[in-house]
């Protein structure tokens, strides 16, 4: 039976370190508040003009492809997860294909925010299992720093997020008991607006009482992007933090247990849990609920903040580079975020 395994992995973090203290220059916050509520001490911000979501992805992908013993021309397909794309459209997948001079392969963009990498990996896994592709580049990359509200108004969101990229080459194998054992994906759109960036978007039509035909072109344009959106901060992400937190601490353990049950494994079989780095307090809550010891949970949010779709591949890469993951280890990846969406991947390294 063909299945997929991680053949190469890479990460990229911008050099620019931004401490909690640095953020106090722009907003009413404190190192103490941020560390107590989130565990974050510092994060990285991309160079404003020289780095983009795609250029960071190129850096991470180059390492992943090299470690897989391949060249960019060997890649059969790209799956790119991000919520901070270079353009509204086209997606970053094609920009990565161009920048890395890959063949005219398919490039798919995934928009599942914090669960983006888990969703992307699951999609790539299905293509490989079906025998369609041999080597798929799966990327998570974010340049949050360009789209955050650095005034006190946006402090509950802005202090959390950081920039970076992670990538894996997912390859095909027939070796038993190696690679991805299962993926589980979920969503509940009931709370879609609790963690969202509404504008620019096409949603305005949905709330209108008058038919669109009654509006002139300028008014319709205003619904997409307006000066009011700019002045009222409506072009920034919105998050109802406590609601996200409450749901996350339930769904993380649930989807991890689902993965274990599916494979007839137990929590004690997990060698390394890599939770999406949303908030250290969420990860600690999940760890406690599952009864996992510290050495079996990898966290680096303290240094990088929440890098959304990039957080799992960055953490996985770092754990691998530090020798915390060994061959045949059972590794569990789990994510929860905007949508709400959540999911898990169980794999044998
Ligand atoms: O990966 C994406 C998924 N996102 C998440 O998983 C986030 C989940 N939620 C969280 O991590 C937490 O809810 C936050 C860290 C975002 C917020 O922590 P919290 O303990 O839930 O705080 P809160 O939103 O209930 O706010 C408590 C107080 C408020 O002040 P008042 O109304 O009590 O006077 C906020 O205005 O803290 C204030 N506050 C801040 N104070 C200093 C909010 N942000 C800040 C800040 N610095 N950065």
Domain boundaries defined on the chain: 3-173, 179-192+238-348, 198-224
> Distance between the two ends of the chain, CA-based, in angstroms?
17
**Nearest alpha carbon, ligand 1 atom 3:** 337
- CATH, domain range 179-192+238-348: 3.40.47.10
Q: Is residue 246 predicted with pLDDT exceeding 80?
A: yes
Q: Is residue 5 predicted with pLDDT exceeding 80?
A: yes
* Ligand 1 pocket: which of 34, 140, 151, 156 to mutate (most atoms within 8 A of CB): 156
Q: Strand, coil or helix: what is 162? A: coil
Q: How far is the CA of 26 from the centre of ligand 1 (A)?
A: 17
Residues tagged active-site: 114, 276, 306
Atom index in ligand 1 nearest the CA of residue 157 equals: 16
Enter the DSSP assignment of 68. Answer: T
Q: Comparing 83-87, 198-202, 214-218, 301-305, which segment has the lowest mean pLDDT? A: 214-218
Q: How far is the CA of 330 from the centre of ligand 1 (A)?
A: 34
- Quote the pLDDT of residue 226: 86
Q: Is residue 207 predicted with pLDDT exceeding 90?
A: no
Contact 347, 288 (CB under 8 A): no
Q: Is residue 164 predicted with pLDDT exceeding 70?
A: yes
Fold equal for 3-173 and 179-192+238-348: yes
Our measurement of the distance from residue 120's CA atom to the centroid of its chain's CA atoms, rounded to an integer in Å, reads 10
Q: What is the pTM (predicted TM-score) of this model?
A: 0.96
pLDDT tens, residue by residue, 102-137 = 999 999 999 999 999 999 999 999 999 999 999 999
Q: Is residue 212 predicted with pLDDT exceeding 80?
A: no
For the chain, give the mean pLDDT: 95
Ligand 1 site: residues with CB under 6 angstroms? 29, 33-34, 37-38, 114, 155-156, 159, 195, 241-242, 244-245, 248, 278-279, 282, 306, 337
| Percent helix / strand / coil, the chain, rounded to 5 | 45, 25, 35
Q: Is residue 38 predicted with pLDDT exceeding 80?
A: yes
Strands 330-337 and 272-275: parallel
Q: How far is the CA of 284 from the centre of ligand 1 (A)?
A: 17
Query: Domain 3-173 sits in which CATH superfamily?
Result: Thiolase/Chalcone synthase (3.40.47.10)
Q: How many CA atoms lie within 13 A of 342 on its CB side?
A: 22
Handedness of CA 87, 93, 99, 105 (dihedral sign): negative
């Amino acid at each position: 039976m063909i299945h997929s395994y991680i053949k190469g992995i890479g990460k990229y973090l911008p050099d620019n370190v931004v401490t909690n203290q640095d953020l106090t220059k722009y907003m009413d916050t404190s190192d103490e508040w941020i560390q107590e509520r989130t565990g974050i001490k510092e994060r990285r911000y991309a160079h404003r003009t020289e780095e983009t979501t795609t250029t960071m992805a190129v850096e991470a992908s180059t390492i992943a492809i090299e470690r897989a013993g391949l060249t960019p021309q060997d890649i059969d397909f790209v799956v790119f997860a991000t919520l901070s794309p270079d353009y509204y459209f086209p997606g970053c997948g094609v920009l990565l294909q161009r920048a890395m001079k890959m063949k005219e392969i398919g490039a798919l963009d995934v928009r599942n925010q914090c669960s983006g990498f888990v969703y992307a990996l699951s999609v790539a896994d299905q293509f490989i299992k079906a025998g369609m592709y041999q080597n798929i580049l799966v990327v998570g990359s974010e340049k949050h720093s360009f789209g955050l509200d650095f005034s006190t108004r946006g402090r509950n969101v802005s202090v959390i997020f950081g920039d970076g990229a992670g990538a894996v080459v997912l390859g095909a194998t027939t070796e038993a008991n190696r690679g991805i054992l299962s993926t589980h994906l979920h969503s509940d759109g009931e709370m879609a607006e609790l963690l969202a960036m509404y504008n620019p978007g096409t949603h305005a039509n949905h709330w209108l009482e008058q038919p669109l035909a009654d509006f002139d072109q300028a008014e319709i344009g205003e619904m997409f992007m307006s000066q009011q959106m700019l002045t009222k901060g409506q072009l920034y992400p919105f998050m109802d933090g406590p609601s996200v937190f409450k749901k996350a601490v339930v769904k993380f353990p649930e989807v991890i247990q689902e993965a274990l049950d599916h494979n007839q494994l137990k929590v004690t079989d997990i060698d390394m849990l890599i939770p999406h780095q949303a908030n250290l307090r969420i990860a600690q809550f999940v760890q406690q609920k599952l009864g996992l010891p510290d050495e079996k949970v990898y966290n680096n949010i303290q240094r990088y903040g929440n890098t959304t779709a990039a957080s799992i591949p960055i953490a996985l890469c770092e754990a691998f580079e530090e020798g915390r993951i060994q061959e045949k280890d059972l590794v569990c990846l789990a994510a929860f975020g905007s949508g709400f969406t959540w999911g898990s991947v169980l794999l044998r390294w």
